[in-house]
Amino acid sequence: AQSVSQHNHHVILSEAASLELGCNYSYGGTVNLFWYVQYPGQHLQLLLKYFSGDPLVKGIKGFEAEFIKSKFSFNLRKPSVQWSDTAEYFCAVVGRDDKIIFGKGTRLHILP
């Protein structure tokens, strides 16, 4: 079955630290990849997406993600996190049956 694995369920960082959240997917066909974010008390929103082209994708709020086909990975990065980045982050892929499959999420907590 197709799946998305997020390796870190809970990450705690201090402000200004660098962030990398891991995401691996199992689907081997044409991939459409996403990172969604849910800030406390808010709804899920799209952070960035990859459909084709440059494998380094830039999203909102200084986030970026790199699609590495050989590693089936789409890791999320930010060079310097802020307290306001505290949120839950979900990696997702469009599966073979054209449905979006989400990972279990990573809770990120930034210490002020």
Q: Give the footprint of another protein on this chain (CB under 8 A).
A: 4, 9, 32, 34, 36, 42-46, 49, 51, 90, 92, 94, 97, 99-105
Nearer to another protein, 6 or 85 (CB): 6
Closest approach of another protein to the CB of residue 83, in Å: 23
Closest approach of another protein to the CB of residue 32, in Å: 6
Closest approach of another protein to the CB of residue 5, in Å: 11
Task: Classify burial at 13, counting beta carbons within 10 Å of its beta carbon; exposed 0-12, middle 13-18, buried 19 or more.
Answer: middle
